[in-house]
Structure 1
Amino acid sequence: MSPTRVGVIGAGIAGPVLAMFLKQKGYDPVLYERLDAPSDQGLGIALQANGTAVLSKIPGLLDAIGGHTIDEFFFYSALPEDAGLLGASEHPRRLREATGHPLMTVRRPLMHQRVIDFARTRGVPVVFGHNLEALEQHDDGVTVAFANGVKETFSFVVGCDGLHSKTRVCLFGEMSADYTGVTHCGGVSPTPEFWKGKRAPADIYGNGVYMIVAPMGDGVTAWAINSREPEAKEDWRSIGEDATEDFKKNSQFVNWPYGAGELVTTSMKVVKYGIYDRQELKSWHKGRVLLVGDAAHPTSPHLGQGANQAYEDVNLLMELLEKHNPAAGPPSTPTLEAVFTELERTRIPRTSEMVKKARMQGEMRTVAGVEACVRRNAMIRDMCSDPEKMKARFGA
């Protein structure tokens, strides 16, 4: 009997990982991506312990990703009325020692390329230039139609196609994304002297704004400034050469301490986009089609848990397929209903909590007004003194 064919839509951060797990369990996954090549968009990504715990189940994958292990996290204030080091935490190191799973940073485009390359070495077909257009469900399968006229039929389909998921649109119709009121402006720069030799990202807080600094381990550091501004499109693209040069010379951040100003002035490019999330879905599936990751529960980045929550989805999905369909044969619709419903029962409360916590963290870090900022700084100092409260910063 031929292996059970599974369509995986979206070759971003989660899709290739899901496809590799399916391949390991005896399925025949095919990975489709609407773009013509791996994306070079995005800055850095944080793989937290809950995410690396999942990735470690694919032998050799973490080594192939080649991330930069994080030991500490620093918190600074650039607010003139209350400047200085607010505190530090060894939470990443303690978590790694307790679980065996590290917190790692890696440049997003590099990780994207590396997971796709590794999936191919594991025998996963990766098909670019295929933009999902429609899904037609049958009693024992799903026919996927792409905009280029190609049609393929699978036993079941999993949508891993992110915030702008076409799989979600096919299942539930168009849904507007909600602007959180915060923009994300960032870049990748040579690591300043202040941060050389450190395995420690940092939050740097100002008035109505905060900056995250994350060494990537290959001589560069990714940075991102989050501030309350009018809505900006979520497209992750460069703001343009002239606007970049103006930002690098004239923005308020040029004179920020702790290496922050140097990061801004030496950035190789500057991207800017709005941060969005969407209304909570009550169900992530319909029939033989399931959503995971940002396609199901997009979140703002303030906990650094987006990719890691997607990996938790993938891990539980594989456990439930093993439970309900151990032979990896073509599952019946009732079998898939049992798998998908059990997945939602566990994962929807968890991811809903993460989305809310991420938005709350973004609101807290970008408070405006000196008095409010001083109170925020006091909260950060208190958090740094309490390991239990520190868990909220990392979402796990």
Structure 2
Amino acid sequence: MSTKVIVVGAGIAGPVLATFLKLRGYEPTVYERVPELPDGGLGHLLQPNGLRVLSKVPGLLENIEMAKLERTAFYSVVQGDTGLLAEQPTNPTFAFHGVRRPVFHKALVEAAERVGVEFKWGHKLVSLEQGEDSVTVAFENGSKATGSFVVGCDGLHSNTRTCLFGDEKADFTGLCQTGGICPIPENMNFPFTFLNIFGDGVHIVAYVINDRQASWAMTKREPEAKETWRAQDDSVKQAVQNSEVAKWDFGGSELIKNSEHIVKYGLYDRPELTTWHQGRVVLIGDAAHPTSPHLGQGANQSFEDIDLLTELLDKYNPSTASPSTSTLEALFTEFETARIPRSSAMVKGARALGESRVVQGVDACIERNNKVRIQWSDADAVARAREAMFKSVSAKET
């Protein structure tokens, strides 16, 4: 009989993990708190480390509408230092691909369903009880499920994490983002462009997500804002489209004024954990290491987690029978030893990059602009930095 695995969370990580498990002979079931597949969200930036993992799912990438970004460009609208700061064609080895989040999410769920993964929507985890050779989870709707082991993929507000390590407050980074989807501005089209525009206390990043649309996000220091991206807020749209930022050159005005759907949300991370598991339960993705989005590595780091975790299952449990707790302990410990330092560096790097982008005062802004000019003037140095970022750890290297 196949080994039952409980996957908590049907966001971006859960369906991919379940697919990998199913293809190996396990019997995963994905439990998700929301009642149905959501259609909200903006864009995702798929990077080489994440694409490498997704390429292992048969037929997935070939059937997702996405855009290969062939140019990176930086502009400034700061008084006294206006214009193009730097631009480079994309090194094909390190190409990014933009994709619309709902399109991507739906494709991941459908890929999992095609190989036989079952999804249970409307199941919010409230507790778990570990036995000698199994884990039983209870849901808010009164149902229960038992599996050999549990993987928590339930995001920033992970109930699995709370069950393991207690309730803790997510850390507001002091930054908020406002974002939207719009037709591709002229200066981002042909070639498809990854665009940055720097202002005084404001940074806009945008990228093409298909042959018609671009996704953008504006970062500012503002009071904490809850995740209003889950429901359209017309007051947010009106405030942004009437702001000075909506007058920016270099594509900024087109991004904001031509967006029909604009949302706003605070940026958070959580205290770093020294372990991601207890007994037969382990966390991955944002449940383990949530990050602010400034490196675009949130989903991509989740995919690295999945790749290594399933490689280690092959190593420690090649029969796919229900593993002992001691086997899982060894497996999860090796997994953490490799992944905690790397994900921690990404979380800290993303937060630092966000801080460096959103500076205030003309002098500080010009200093930031000059750093961008220097950093992006050396194509070889950029390539080396990206190579280091995208190098992931395999089970053979741990």
- Asked if structure 1 preserves the Cα contact closer than 8 Å seen for 2:294 and 2:350, the reply is yes
Map residues 29-48 of structure 1 onto 2, 5 A cutoff.
29-48=28-47
| Residue-by-residue CA offset, 1:340-396 (whole Å, 9 max, x unaligned) | 000000000000100110000000000111111001001001111123246657943
- Hey, what does 1:262 align to over in structure 2? 254
Question: Does residue 226 of structure 1 match 2:219?
Answer: yes
Partners in 1 of 2:236 and 2:340 — Cα distance?
41
SS of residue matched to 1:236: helix
Partners in 1 of 2:375 and 2:74 — Cα distance?
10
- Hey, what does 1:251 align to over in structure 2? 243
- Hey, what does 1:126 align to over in structure 2? 119
| Residue-by-residue CA offset, 1:207-227 (whole Å, 9 max, x unaligned) | 111000111123111111001
| Residue-by-residue CA offset, 1:1-27 (whole Å, 9 max, x unaligned) | x11000001000010000000011110
Question: Does residue 93 of structure 1 match 2:85?
Answer: no
Partners in 2 of 1:343 and 1:209 — Cα distance?
38
Partners in 2 of 1:14 and 1:81 — Cα distance?
44
Partners in 2 of 1:294 and 1:149 — Cα distance?
26
SS of residue matched to 1:201: strand
- Hey, what does 1:322 align to over in structure 2? 314
Partners in 2 of 1:6 and 1:276 — Cα distance?
29
- Hey, what does 1:99 align to over in structure 2? none
| Residue-by-residue CA offset, 1:187-212 (whole Å, 9 max, x unaligned) | 00112223232221111100111000
Amino acid at match of 1:190: P
Amino acid at match of 1:73: T
Partners in 2 of 1:82 and 1:237 — Cα distance?
37
Amino acid at match of 2:325: T
Amino acid at match of 1:182: L
Amino acid at match of 1:348: I
Amino acid at match of 1:4: T
Structure 2 unaligned residues grouped into runs of 5+: 391-398
- Asked if structure 1 preserves the Cα contact closer than 8 Å seen for 2:228 and 2:263, the reply is no
Partners in 1 of 2:314 and 2:110 — Cα distance?
26
- Hey, what does 1:216 align to over in structure 2? 209
Map residues 126-165 of structure 1 onto 2, 5 A cutoff.
126-165=119-158
Question: Does residue 374 of structure 1 match 2:366?
Answer: yes
Question: Does residue 344 of structure 1 match 2:336?
Answer: yes
Map residues 199-210 of structure 1 onto 2, 5 A cutoff.
199-210=192-203
Question: Does residue 298 of structure 1 match 2:296?
Answer: no
Q: CA deviation at 1:335?
A: 0.5
Q: CA deviation at 1:239?
A: 5.3
- Asked if structure 2 preserves the Cα contact closer than 8 Å seen for 1:238 and 1:272, the reply is no
- Hey, what does 1:196 align to over in structure 2? 189
- Asked if structure 2 preserves the Cα contact closer than 8 Å seen for 1:187 and 1:271, the reply is yes
- Asked if structure 2 preserves the Cα contact closer than 8 Å seen for 1:12 and 1:112, the reply is yes
| Residue-by-residue CA offset, 1:27-46 (whole Å, 9 max, x unaligned) | 00001111111122221001
- Hey, what does 2:21 align to over in structure 1? 22
103-112 vs 344-353, greater mean Cα deviation: 103-112
| Residue-by-residue CA offset, 1:267-302 (whole Å, 9 max, x unaligned) | 111100110000000000000000000000000000
Q: CA deviation at 1:104?
A: 1.0
16-25 vs 231-240, greater mean Cα deviation: 231-240
Amino acid at match of 1:181: G
Partners in 1 of 2:223 and 2:331 — Cα distance?
42
- Hey, what does 1:75 align to over in structure 2? 74
- Asked if structure 1 preserves the Cα contact closer than 8 Å seen for 2:188 and 2:195, the reply is no
Partners in 1 of 2:316 and 2:236 — Cα distance?
54
Q: CA deviation at 1:258?
A: 1.3
Partners in 1 of 2:31 and 2:290 — Cα distance?
20
- Hey, what does 1:357 align to over in structure 2? 349
- Hey, what does 2:49 align to over in structure 1? 50
Partners in 2 of 1:301 and 1:322 — Cα distance?
31
Amino acid at match of 1:8: V
Partners in 1 of 2:353 and 2:232 — Cα distance?
26
Partners in 2 of 1:351 and 1:246 — Cα distance?
36
Partners in 2 of 1:360 and 1:390 — Cα distance?
20
| Residue-by-residue CA offset, 1:305-340 (whole Å, 9 max, x unaligned) | 000000000000011000000111100000000110
38-47 vs 228-237, greater mean Cα deviation: 228-237
Partners in 1 of 2:211 and 2:303 — Cα distance?
25
SS of residue matched to 1:356: helix
- Asked if structure 2 preserves the Cα contact closer than 8 Å seen for 1:179 and 1:275, the reply is yes
Change (3 A) 1:360 1:393: farther
Between the aligned residues of both structures, percent identity stands at 51
User: How many correspondences in the alignment?
Assistant: 388
Question: Does residue 177 of structure 1 match 2:170?
Answer: yes
Partners in 2 of 1:388 and 1:238 — Cα distance?
42
